[in-house]
Chains A and B, each alone.
Chain A
């Protein structure tokens, strides 16, 4: 026995090491993309396009162009005309590694080197950005000489992007619109579903089994089936009463309808699991169904109500399709997902806008998710494992 057990201990050491490595690998793949947009949303706009976000914490190298001070800044010294200054607006943060005077060769000379620019004209740019431009004849012209340089820029983080996005890209307004859609669309179905679920779980009436079967069937009906008829219905109602067809009321009811099968299903299977004796003893004490529901079943069902609320909240907040069909695209109705989709079209390459907007869009679900994960997982398990 000794031999094999020693052998298997050795294997399990490497085995365990491998397990840690494998899990680490998966965790990295699953978190890096999100981390990427978080880091990017906090970076400086110019640095985002200059280097990958994973280099954000180290200094980045950038090639840029600037102009030296114009001719009027020149002083005469030892028979030469000299212009002195610093190419950086705020010296002391970046370091120059090389410079040049032609765009074809922006890094022709190393920092500190004295570049000979024909006819006795020389230019020296030092690491700290200070320069010495010298010529035997007087400088002329109102524009300073163009100079190219490669500089090492230290990492710079800013919350500027968030300000831009919230106020000028319309994300702030959309955030409010999303809340306006989500909160009523989460609360209304809970009420309606809870009563229906109680009836289906604890009341006897003809057609009950059929109703349960219908609800389980509706559970998987694709949303796409509902879009065209409901759109026509809304347009019809709008024309009939002379009201707009795209309203918040319309989308609240639509989300209620689409969420209801899952709500009833989830609540019913939970309520059916409550102990029968509880209901029966209450009934003997003379309690009506309404009292039993309000005083016993509802308080006991709190965990499953919370589960469904989280589901419905996430689903409505993250929905794009229903919002695109039943709400307008104006500033007063565009929700976050819709705005993000619009920004992808109009600001396709502006990653500072896109990543910041995306992060604002996902921050609420992430908070809900992390603070209420227990209920979320419970709902998930109840909704699918039993859901056969």
Chain B
């Protein structure tokens, strides 16, 4: 245990020191190889130009190396794996994709993922927007926002334990220790095993992610709402618009761009949702999603890398439109 702490400290020193030494040393090396001082004017100009050519790559080199090894190479490699068999040894063409199209569990996962994709971003954005508008009007709004924002810091596994306890089930007539069933029973309803109700259990899992992500939507949208000029709203009030009209016809259109950003950010998160499903149901009772299905095939289904990779590609395809849109948007801004 002590050795672990010591080795962690050593790594921090070596890692950080190594990074610094690399950047400092590489920089010195450039100065030495292409000296700009103590040489004739023409040579100095030449060397300065060469320095300017090399130096950016020294600065950005380590980042490019790591990005290539940890993201770019894997993306290409996963695509290749998806055309190979279990162990990645022999080429099987489209066999993995054909299997996917006919696999019942995949159909179920795809359907569930689609539901997640519709419900979670919509609920987070709408709730976040409503809470942002409401908290802006009261004196304890900042405290309220902090508390609603708080789950964003909680891990998905931690949140799953928290909500598993909310959903805890005891037989009918017994003292319920899960708050949801206690409320249901208090109103004369029948306690349920919420997470094993086929179809509906998906929604009980979604609630966890909505609970976590609403704070994110709220903070971003709240700051966008502040950016709306006061006069616009005042003019609408004078014209006799009611609060709902102001909300839907003035506020929402003004911050439409931000709403889109929040929506897409949560969408990407939802596509990758894994921890919640793994810890709550592990895909049982038809609550499977793509990321967990992939994990199953990678490690539990005897380690079928071909099929795992194929499912990863499906997730990637889901992200692709957002990726393209983001790059286009950035290029437009870069033009300024």
Are B316 and A221 in contact, CB atoms less than 8 angstroms apart? yes
Q: Is A196 an interface residue (CB 8 A)?
A: yes
Are B157 and A341 in contact, CB atoms less than 8 angstroms apart? yes
Are A216 and B312 in contact, CB atoms less than 8 angstroms apart? no
Q: Which residues of A contact B42 (CB under 8 A)?
A: none
* Complex CA–CA separation, A50 to B329 (angstroms): 57
- Convert B109-153 into 0s and 1s, putting 1 for each residue whose CB lies closer than 8 angstroms to a CB of A: 000000000000000000100010011011011001011111111
Number of interface residues of B (CB under 8 A): 118
Are B11 and A199 in contact, CB atoms less than 8 angstroms apart? no
* Complex CA–CA separation, A344 to B155 (angstroms): 15
Cβ contact of B274, chosen from A213, A321, A344, cutoff 8 A: A321
**Smallest beta-carbon distance B129→chain A, Å:** 12
Q: Which residues of A contact B206 (CB under 8 A)?
A: none
With A220-B323, A260-B67 as contacts: A30 and B147 at CB distance below 8 Å: yes
* Complex CA–CA separation, A365 to B160 (angstroms): 16
Are A36 and B315 in contact, CB atoms less than 8 angstroms apart? no
- Convert A195-218 into 0s and 1s, putting 1 for each residue whose CB lies closer than 8 angstroms to a CB of B: 110111001110011011111111
Q: Which residues of A contact B12 (CB under 8 A)?
A: 183-184, 187
Stretch at the interface among A104-112, A149-157, A245-253: A245-253
Q: Is B271 an interface residue (CB 8 A)?
A: yes
With A54-B179, A198-B59 as contacts: A354 and B161 at CB distance below 8 Å: yes
* Complex CA–CA separation, A317 to B152 (angstroms): 13
Are B78 and A225 in contact, CB atoms less than 8 angstroms apart? yes
Stretch at the interface among A20-28, A79-87, A117-125, A158-166: A20-28
- Convert B182-224 into 0s and 1s, putting 1 for each residue whose CB lies closer than 8 angstroms to a CB of A: 1000000000000000000000000000010011100110011
Q: Is B66 an interface residue (CB 8 A)?
A: yes
Q: Which residues of B contact A23 (CB under 8 A)?
A: 131, 134-135, 138, 140-141, 144
* Complex CA–CA separation, A379 to B227 (angstroms): 18
* Complex CA–CA separation, A324 to B300 (angstroms): 13
Q: Is A224 an interface residue (CB 8 A)?
A: yes
Q: Is B16 an interface residue (CB 8 A)?
A: yes
Are B322 and A228 in contact, CB atoms less than 8 angstroms apart? no
* Complex CA–CA separation, A151 to B85 (angstroms): 64
Contacting residues of chain A (296-355) with chain B, CB-CB under 8 angstroms: 314, 317-321, 324, 332, 336-337, 340-341, 344, 351, 354-355
Q: Which residues of A contact B11 (CB under 8 A)?
A: 184, 248-249, 252
Are B73 and A229 in contact, CB atoms less than 8 angstroms apart? yes
Q: Is A193 an interface residue (CB 8 A)?
A: yes
Are A19 and B137 in contact, CB atoms less than 8 angstroms apart? yes
With CB as the reference atom, state the residue of chain B lying closest to A29: B211
Cβ contact of A31, chosen from B60, B73, B147, cutoff 8 A: B147
Cβ contact of A213, chosen from B134, B177, B330, cutoff 8 A: B330
* Complex CA–CA separation, A48 to B148 (angstroms): 26
Q: Is A192 an interface residue (CB 8 A)?
A: yes
Contacting residues of chain B (267-303) with chain A, CB-CB under 8 angstroms: 268, 271-272, 274-275, 278-279, 291, 294-295, 298
Are A26 and B60 in contact, CB atoms less than 8 angstroms apart? no
* Complex CA–CA separation, A264 to B66 (angstroms): 12
Q: Is B162 an interface residue (CB 8 A)?
A: yes
Are A340 and B88 in contact, CB atoms less than 8 angstroms apart? no
Stretch at the interface among B20-28, B90-98, B99-107: B20-28
Stretch at the interface among B228-236, B245-253, B258-266: B258-266
**Smallest beta-carbon distance A379→chain B, Å:** 11
Q: Is B15 an interface residue (CB 8 A)?
A: yes
**Smallest beta-carbon distance A174→chain B, Å:** 12
| 24 A-B interface contacts by CB (under 8 A) | A23-B134, A23-B138, A26-B127, A34-B154, A54-B179, A203-B59, A204-B56, A222-B272, A224-B316, A226-B74, A227-B312, A228-B77, A319-B155, A320-B155, A320-B157, A337-B158, A340-B157, A344-B157, A365-B153, A366-B154, A373-B146, A380-B220, A384-B220, A384-B261
6 further interface pairs, Cβ-Cβ under 8 Å (given A216-B330, A227-B74, A388-B330): A23-B138, A37-B165, A215-B67, A288-B31, A337-B157, A366-B154
